[in-house]
Every structure is written in structure tokens, then in C-alpha cells.
Amino acid sequence: MQPKKQISSPQLDIFRNRLESILNHRHELYRLSGLIDWEVFEREFGKLYLEEGRPGMPIRLMVGLTYLSHAFNISDEETVRRWVENPYHQYFCGEEYFRHELPIDPSSLSRWRKRIGEQGSELILKLTVEAGLASGAVAPASLERVIVDTTVQEKAVTFPTDSRLYIRSRERLVKLAAAWGIRLRQSYCRLGPQALLKVGRYLHARQRRRAGREIKRLKTYLGRVYRDIVRKIEDQQALRPVFLPELALAERLLTQQRQDKNKLYSLHAPEVECISKGKAHKKYEFGVKVSVATTNRDNFVVGMLAEPGNPYDGHTLARAIEQVQRITGCPVGCSYVDRGYRGHKVKDLQVLISGRRRGMTPQMKKKLKRRSAVEPVIGHMKTDGKLGRNYLLGELGDKINALLCGAGHNIRLILKRLREILLFFRLVCLDQKMAGLIPRLALCTLAPASN
């Protein structure tokens, strides 16, 4: 059914005060709530609900909680808990009166993200750009020149090792067989953990040959369980769809070699890729490559695009520019990239690659120097946002989390801009008071004392 609508009632509650009458109207969250066009969300996201059934939660509440979660880098549970405690969070989400109960169950945010998908997350990012233009955090002329770079959005997985993957896959197969009443010849529930313990001890002592022997034993245990289940369900057609996903993962583990591509690094997140970005402190990262586009002047995020498959950086530039133009509605005139984008084959706009010497004017050199400004933006999204570790499931979760991280970064910039404006006006008012106070003090000191 269509979600509930937060309609402002002209009738006052005799026992309670409205939030707008008790809050500070100069607070950045209060002012930000007036800069976002919430009607766009009501119009676009309202199409995702059916006309029948239980009414959904208010769309502004769900969008507001999503903004707060990614702006302040807090989990869904913490977002809902802080909402109960903070009246500014409640007003930002469209409440008229202060509420003392939880607005939703935290798991509703997971279903909400799945409902809106990638397009809805892109709309959430787009509205932050419009709010940034309204607040002055980003200038309209800045949208024509963007910086594009790539980073790795790491997945919430443990560091992959062969021994851990073998024993985990065997445990999942044994558990699934027990749930469906398949009696195995041997489950290795006692021998598997013992072999895993020996692997850790041998590797700690740098006895790699002995450790390799135990790893091979774990692989043998997995292969025996795998083949036993395949034999047992061969004549049971109804069980094949149930066991097929787990058996496919186990087969990938058993057949993959050291130098293979598209290896399996996590059982609960098979889409995880091993990406090397040449960092000295972290040689390999396990996640997905993300293309980040920011304005050259204001460091405002205007594009976030997850790129599964670990493509070459230059091949992602065309898709990144297309997304920027779709979000901002403004044609991109110039793009600044690093040397990893050589061979991009983009001819519709001017692309300046770091280190270029020929045909560079002083103005072009000055703007190209700001290409490295995208690096701290990525760092802030990883430390202050949720780009450093993605907990959302699947490739869709990678795309949604990347877009919402960009929206959270823009919200933080807008809040900072609103605080700076408030501080500026306070200083101006203070200067005016001091300017009027000094002449009065001078007159008092020059006036003769009265008898």
C-alpha cells in the first residue's frame, strides 16, 4: 500500500509544543531540511508501492534516516536509536512533535534500500547536489569541470585463506545435509578443526611444508564431503536446486589454482574481487572498484559508480562522465584524471591527464594541480563515511553503498557550509556591536565628571 504521508496539521496539540517552535532555526540540520526538495522523493518513490496492503512508512522518514546514517557514519541500529534522542533528527525526517518511541525497526532500512535500488540511490545523491547549489556549498560553474579517480570499496569479509575457505565450505555442506536429512559417510567435524589448528601453528613457526600438507588434507576433506553429497542427491530431483548453489561454490574452491582469475575469496560474498592498487601498506584489497567523480573546485561528489569485474581505469571514464551529466544535468567540459586513464578513448570532452606537458596553458596547469584533491575526498568517505567497509549484500549492495557514501559526503559539506555562514553572521553582528560600543566608551571617557 502507499506509504503514510506526513501532512502538517494547522491544529495545535494542547499538551505538546511543535518542534519548530522549540528548536533553534539557525541550526544546520534545521536549515538543511528546508533545502532538500522532499516532494521529489514522494513523487518518485511512491511509484514503488502497491495500492493494496499495509501502509508503508513515510518516505521522508526513510530518506532522512538514510541521509543521517551515511552523513554521520553510523549503523542502522544506531541511526534509529539517535533519532529517538535527537529532536533535530526528528524534525529533519519530517516530524511535527517529539516522539519517544522507535520510528521503525532497523531492518526496515535494509528492505528500503533494496526497494529503491540503484536508481533510487542515484536520486538521493542528485538531490544533495541540488541542495549544495541552494546552500552555496558548490558553485554552478564548478559542475562543468570534474575530477575522476578510482578506489577500492572493501567488502566486509575476512582475509581469505585456503584453509579457512576449505573448512568453511565443508561446514556449510554438512549443515545443509543435516537440515535435509542426508546422512553422510563422514562429516570430518572433529578432524577438520584439528587440521586448521595445525595450519596456524605451522605457519607461525614458518614450517610451510607441514602447513601445506595440512591444507591439502582440508581440501581432501571438502572433496570427500562434496562427492558424497553429489552421489546421495543424484536420484533426488527435488534436492538438486537446494544443494546446487553450495555445491557450485565448493566446486570452484576445489578446481581453482593459484594463478587463476576470478577466484572465489568469500563464500557469503562470491562477487568479491582481489584488486591491487600499488599501495605500500596494503598490497591487495578485497572488494569492488569504484569510480569517484568530484568537482574540481569545491570537492563536491557528483558521481559514484561501482565497477564490478575490475576493469581498466581508462575504460570507466565514459560511464563516469555519463553518470555525472545525468546527476547534475550539466554537460561536462573538462575532466582531470591521473595517468591510469591513458587510452580512455573519450573524445566528447577535454581530458587532462596528470603529467601532461604539451599544449598546456598556465590556467590549465593551475587547474590540473587540483587533480590530487580527490584523494582526501576518498579518504574522508572511507574514514568519515561507509566507503571503507561495505556491509551490504551482493553487487547491488556495492552500487547502493557507493552512491549513498557520496550523498553522505555532500551532506557533511553542506552542514559545514551552513555552520560557516552562521559563524560569519555572528562575527558581523559582533563587529557592529563593537563598532557602536567604542564611540560610546570614548564619549564616556571624554565627558567631564559631574558633581
The pLDDT of residue 449 is above 60: no
**Are 219 and 168 spatial neighbours (Cβ–Cβ below 8 Å)?**
no
Q: How would DSSP label each residue in 237-296?
A: GGGHHHHHHHHHHHHHHHH--TT-SS----SS-TT-EEE----SS-S-EEEEEEEEEEET
Q: Does the pLDDT of residue 447 top 70, yes or no?
A: no
The C-alpha cell that represents 294 in the structure block: 568530484
What is the distance between the alpha carbons of residues 215 and 188, in angstroms, rounded to a whole number?
Answer: 14
Mean pLDDT of all residues belonging to the chain? 89
pLDDT at 439: 53
Q: H or E element: which one contains 150?
A: strand 145-154
| Mean pLDDT value of segment 397-409 | 96
* Bridge partners, 304 (sequence order): 292
What is the C-alpha to C-alpha distance for residues 107 and 74, in angstroms, rounded to an integer?
A: 14
Distance in angstroms (rounded) separating the CA atoms of residues 137 and 322: 23
* Alpha carbons 204 and 217: distance in angstroms, whole number: 18
CA–CA separation, 91 vs 73, rounded Å?
A: 20
Please give the Cα distance from 383 to 17 (Å, whole number): 38
Q: For residue 236, is it left (φ>0), alpha (ψ between -120 and 50) or beta? A: beta
Can you tell me which residue has the cell 541540488? 130
Q: Tell me the pLDDT band of 441, cut-offs 50, 70 and 90.
A: very low
Distance of CA 209 to the CA centre of its chain: 42
Looking at residue 166, its pLDDT comes to 96
Closest CA to 144 of 367, 416, 372, 411: 367
Cell numbers at 216, concatenated = 591439502
pLDDT band at 9 (very low <50, low <70, confident <90, very high): low
Cβ(381)–Cβ(404) under 8 Å?
no
On the CB side of 281, CA atoms within 13 Å amount to: 0
User: pLDDT value at position 168?
Assistant: 96
What would the pLDDT profile of 88-141 be if each residue is shown by its tens digit? Answer: 999 999 998 999 999 999 999 999 999 999 999 999 999 999 999 999 999 999
CA distances from 159 to 155, 202, 349, 446 (A): 10, 18, 41, 78
Phi and psi (nearest 5°) for 148? -120, 135
What are the pLDDT digits (tens) for 167-196? 999 999 999 999 999 999 999 999 999 999
pLDDT tens readout for residues 233-287: 998 889 999 999 999 999 999 999 988 888 999 999 999 999 988 778 888 999 9
| pLDDT surpassing 50 at residue 448 | no
- Report yes or no: 315 and 331 within 8 Å, Cβ to Cβ: no
As a whole number of Å, the CA-based R_g of the chain is 29
**For 337, which DSSP code?**
E
346-379, pLDDT tens digit by residue? 888 888 998 888 888 888 888 888 999 999 999 9
CA dihedral angle for residue 146, residue 152, residue 155, residue 157, rounded to 10 degrees: -170
Confidence class for position 345, pLDDT limits 50, 70, 90:
confident
Q: What is the dihedral of CA 360, 361, 362, 368, to 10 degrees?
A: -50
Q: What is the pTM (predicted TM-score) of this model?
A: 0.89
How large is the average pLDDT for residues 6-11?
A: 63
Asked whether the predicted pLDDT for residue 157 surpasses 60, the reply is yes
Per cent of the chain over pLDDT 70 is 92
Residue 307 half-sphere exposure toward CB, CA atoms < 13 A: 24
The pLDDT value given to residue 435: 63
